[in-house]
């Protein structure tokens, strides 16, 4: 017989087998103990499954919340042009002329008929229509152009300056339609009414046979109960928001008198001169440089002072003066 002790000594598996053969049989585990072990293992397994499910739900909730916040920020912190109905096939009717606040749009971006434009509570924007009309959206406004001189306003307020004797620009709302006759005016959608403020010119409000005309310096509140009219100053705090997105005021190569006339029209001011000779001189003074980014009052101050003159703003009157001691 061959002695294989050396083989077992060198082979760990063979040693394990020999030791198991020499050992006594293991005593059986009592049924009650085995059941307790199985129950404990099963309970721990179920708990681990629940913990993993909770972690997955928590992760999904966090991701969804982050996505929701992202969507909310996208929709409330930016100007949105919605073309979800399809590709941009509408007629080009306007371009972005000025922005005050954060926006996904850029200057000179094209706006087409059918595009919904919405501003958040901190953003305003100005559009320039193809016919020269300046349209400004207040914060919290939603509208869409329907044609080159027609818009639909669903919330918020717009200020419109047609700059012509007969503009015939149309603002449609759920309560009434406003049509201008060469003017500057604001239309604001309120909870259950519509408010029209006419700065200059005249605007007609119509709906289902009802009609009322507001002229410069008039405010009309229109509702299902009727129309209420009251006087309003064509300048002052009620109109200040429009200046935040007024079109740029170029001064390079522009006569001082023309620059002041434009400021006067934009802000419903009566521009006056201390004497007729000063009015003629202001037409000969040519401005150079830029006042872009300056509030309109500062722009006027820069233009007048660099011309060697002075001015005074008293209510709705902008008076141009010679410096004290000047001939």
At 170-187, the pLDDT tens digits run 999 999 999 998 899 999
Q: Does the residue 25 lie in any domain?
A: no
Q: Is 39 exposed, middle or buried (0-12, 13-18, 19+ CB in 10 A)?
A: exposed
Same domain? For 227 and 103 the reply is yes
Structural domain boundaries enclosing 69: 31-76
pLDDT given at position 266: 93
Arithmetic mean of pLDDT, 56-84: 42
d(CA 75, CA 128): 23
Provide the pLDDT confidence category of residue 258 given band limits of 50, 70 and 90.
very high
- 79 pLDDT higher than 60: no
Same domain? For 125 and 149 the reply is yes
> Could you say which of 76, 109, 136 is where a domain stops?
76
Same domain? For 136 and 183 the reply is yes
At 116-126, the pLDDT tens digits run 999 999 999 99
pLDDT given at position 168: 85
> Could you say which of 239, 271, 288 is where a domain stops?
239
At 271-305, the pLDDT tens digits run 999 999 999 999 999 999 999 889 999 999 999 99
Same domain? For 144 and 216 the reply is yes
Q: Does the residue 301 lie in any domain?
A: yes
Under a CB-based contact definition with an 8 Å cutoff, are residues 135 and 159 in contact? yes
Give the CATH number for residue 313: 3.55.50.30
> Which pTM value belongs to this model?
0.72
Same domain? For 85 and 72 the reply is no
The number of distinct structural domains making up the chain is: 3
Same domain? For 199 and 310 the reply is no
Same domain? For 120 and 160 the reply is yes
Same domain? For 222 and 139 the reply is yes
């Amino acid at each position: 017989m061959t002695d294989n002790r050396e083989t077992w000594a060198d082979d760990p598996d063979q040693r394990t087998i020999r030791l198991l053969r020499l050992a006594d049989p293991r005593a059986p585990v009592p049924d009650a103990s085995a059941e307790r072990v199985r129950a404990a293992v099963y309970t721990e397994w179920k708990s681990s499954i629940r913990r993993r499910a909770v972690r997955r739900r928590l992760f999904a909730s966090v991701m969804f919340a982050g996505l929701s916040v992202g969507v909310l920020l996208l929709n409330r912190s930016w100007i949105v042009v919605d073309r979800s109905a399809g590709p941009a096939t509408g007629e080009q009717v306007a371009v972005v002329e000025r922005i005050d606040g954060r926006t996904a749009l850029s200057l000179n971006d094209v706006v087409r008929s059918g595009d919904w434009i919405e501003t958040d509570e901190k953003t305003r924007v100005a559009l320039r229509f193809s016919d020269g009309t300046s349209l400004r959206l207040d914060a919290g406004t939603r509208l869409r152009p329907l044609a080159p001189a027609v818009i639909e306003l669903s919330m918020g307020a717009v200020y419109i300056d047609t700059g012509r004797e007969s503009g015939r620009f149309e603002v449609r709302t759920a309560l009434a339609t406003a049509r201008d006759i060469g003017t500057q005016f604001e239309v604001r959608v309120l909870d259950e009414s519509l408010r029209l403020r006419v700065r200059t010119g005249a605007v007609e409000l119509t709906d289902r046979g009802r009609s009322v005309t507001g002229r410069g310096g008039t405010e009309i509140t229109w509702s299902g109960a009727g129309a209420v009219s009251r006087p309003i100053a064509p300048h002052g705090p009620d109109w200040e928001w429009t200046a935040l997105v007024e079109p740029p005021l170029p001064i390079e190569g522009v006569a001082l008198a023309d620059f002041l006339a434009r400021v006067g029209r934009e802000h419903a001011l009566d521009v006056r001169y201390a004497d007729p000779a000063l009015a003629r001189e202001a037409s000969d003074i040519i401005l150079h440089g830029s006042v872009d980014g300056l509030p309109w009052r500062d722009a006027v101050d820069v233009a007048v002072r660099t011309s060697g003159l002075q001015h005074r703003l008293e209510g709705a009157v902008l008076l141009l003066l010679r410096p004290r001691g000047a001939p």
